[in-house]
Amino acid sequence: MLKELPLSAFDWWQRIGFDYPVVWISGIFAAFALGACLGSFLNVCIWRIPRGESVVTAPSHCTSCGADIRWYDNLPVISYLVLRGRCRKCGTPYSCRYLVVELITGILFTAILFKAGFARQVPAVIPLYWWCVLLAISCAWIDARFRIIPDALTYPAIFYGIVLHALMPSACGMTSALSGGLYALLSALIPGILLSVFAIIGNKLTGKDVLGWGDVKFIAACGALLGFPGVLFVILGGSLSGTLYGMILTFRRGKKLSRCTIPFGPFLAGAAVVWTLAGNWIWHWYILISAR
Interface residues with Zn ion (CB under 5 A)? 62, 64-65, 87, 89-90
Nearer to Zn ion, 64 or 179 (CB): 64
Compute the least distance from the CB of residue 73 to Zn ion, in Å. Answer: 10
CA 196: distance to chain centroid? 21
Nearer to Zn ion, 64 or 196 (CB): 64
**Secondary structure letter of residue 7 according to DSSP:** P
Nearer to Zn ion, 89 or 97 (CB): 89
List the one residue out of 157, 165, 175, 290 whose CA is nearest residue 227: 165
Compute the least distance from the CB of residue 66 to Zn ion, in Å. Answer: 7
Nearer to Zn ion, 92 or 206 (CB): 92
Nearer to Zn ion, 89 or 147 (CB): 89
Q: How far apart are CA 131 and CA 180, in angstroms?
A: 17
Compute the least distance from the CB of residue 89 to Zn ion, in Å. Answer: 5
Compute the least distance from the CB of residue 103 to Zn ion, in Å. Answer: 22
Q: How far apart are CA 212 and CA 222, in angstroms?
A: 16
The CA-atom distances, in angstroms, between 283 and each of 13, 29, 52, 231, 248 are 22, 29, 39, 12, 28
Nearer to Zn ion, 96 or 194 (CB): 96
List the one residue out of 234, 186, 246, 156 whose CA is nearest residue 210: 246
Compute the least distance from the CB of residue 41 to Zn ion, in Å. Answer: 20
Cis amide prior to 229 (ω within 30 degrees): yes
Q: Residue 187: which residues within 8 A CB-CB, separation 6 or more?
A: 223, 224, 226, 227, 228, 231
Compute the least distance from the CB of residue 97 to Zn ion, in Å. Answer: 16
Nearer to Zn ion, 60 or 280 (CB): 60
SS3 86: strand
Q: How far apart are CA 230 and CA 251, in angstroms?
A: 31
Q: How far apart are CA 146 and CA 160, in angstroms?
A: 25
Compute the least distance from the CB of residue 86 to Zn ion, in Å. Answer: 8
